[in-house]
Amino acid sequence: MPSIVVVGSSNTDLVVRAPRIPSPGETILGGNLEVVPGGKGANQAVAAARLGAAVTFVARIGTDAFGDRSIEGFRREGIDVRAIRRDPTRPSGAALIVVAEDGRNAIVVAPGSNAALSPEDVEAAADAIRAADVLVVQLETPVETVVRALDIARGSGVTTILNPAPARPLGRDVLALADWLTPNETEAASLSGLPVRSMADAEAAARALRAQGAGGVIVTLGAEGALAVWEGGTLHVPAPRVAAVDTVAAGDAFNGALAVAFGEGRGMAAAIWFACAAGTASVTRRGAQPSLPTRDEVEVVLARTTESGGGAVR
């Protein structure tokens, strides 16, 4: 069983489905309020746990009802919550989401206690990070906290995955701490300064990010799968075809699964196929954490998938 530490955010998503996104100053009627656990760090921790990893989550959560509900959810998933700090002065993170009938959405995030996750919080979890097979971090918490976690992991030979979401400027010193950088197309364009509108563009952006210090780069491409560029070559893995219902947290499913695959010692092609299958399984259900698949569900997707459509290393 691979050991994975996730350092990152935890939110409660407050979702209302409506006919359309309201205009400024407009009030419209929507459906019932849905209260759904989310946050990129929490999503990735749950994704990895459902796929069979021993997961420790490092986060800061408020001492409120949302925080209590989140902790209970993590425990049900079998996640080690001892490195989660309860913040008595800041509320738990929350996201206010309106989803239109055409699939578009409008989101406002209140970071709350996520913004207070500190390097000291990470230091308190240093033993767990050093003992892990893989560390996963994102950018919904302070950059200095992310850097400290990466630094501790790299110093102990732990594989590091940096999911640069939401995108923000990162220096060479930060990118150099990432064994694997996993941007989507928008994030790859923002970080590299290059347009990403095609597979060739994605490869060029990935190469530029490697030149800026990242070890390997895996650009997630939605329905087109993922493209990896690393010292061993270039690899495109297509996503299995399914009828997508909701793409929320698909990237988090991918990153959690990628961490599990690397922790299990899978090769590049097998790891990315596994991660793409997890992302694909997640888009067949609504919501963030409710959509994250189990190991059996990912294996079903993999069983239907052949490598004839791609996956050749060059």
- Where residue 314 falls among pLDDT bands split at 50, 70, 90? low
**How distant, in Å, are the alpha carbons of 34, 65, 101 from that of 21?**
17, 28, 9
pLDDT of 287 > 80? The answer is: no
Average pLDDT over residues 140-155: 97
pLDDT of 247 > 80? The answer is: no
Let me know: does 181 contact 207? Beta carbons within 8 Å.
no
Which pLDDT score is estimated for 244?
73
Residues contacting residue 161 through CB under 8 Å, at least 6 positions apart: 134, 135, 136, 137, 178, 179, 180, 182, 255, 258, 259, 262
Active site residue 151: no
Domains of the chain: 40-82+115-309 (3.40.1190.20)
Q: Residue 267: what are its φ and ψ, rounded to 5°?
A: -70, 170
Average pLDDT over residues 252-271: 96
Which is the catalytic residue, given 80, 179, 252, 296? 252
Average pLDDT over residues 227-234: 94
Q: Cα–Cα distance between 259 and 257 in angstroms, integer?
A: 5
Quote the mean pLDDT of the chain.
92
pTM for the predicted model, two decimal places: 0.93
Q: Cα–Cα distance between 277 and 311 in angstroms, integer?
A: 13
**Chain centroid to CA 39: how far?**
9
Average pLDDT over residues 87-97: 95
Average pLDDT over residues 215-244: 90
Average pLDDT over residues 288-310: 78
Lowest mean pLDDT among 35-49, 242-256, 285-299: 242-256
Radius of gyration of the chain from its Cα atoms, rounded to whole angstroms: 18
Maximum CA extent, the chain: 54
pLDDT of 311 > 60? The answer is: no
Let me know: does 155 contact 21? Beta carbons within 8 Å.
no
Residue pLDDT, tens place only, 195-205 = 999 999 999 99
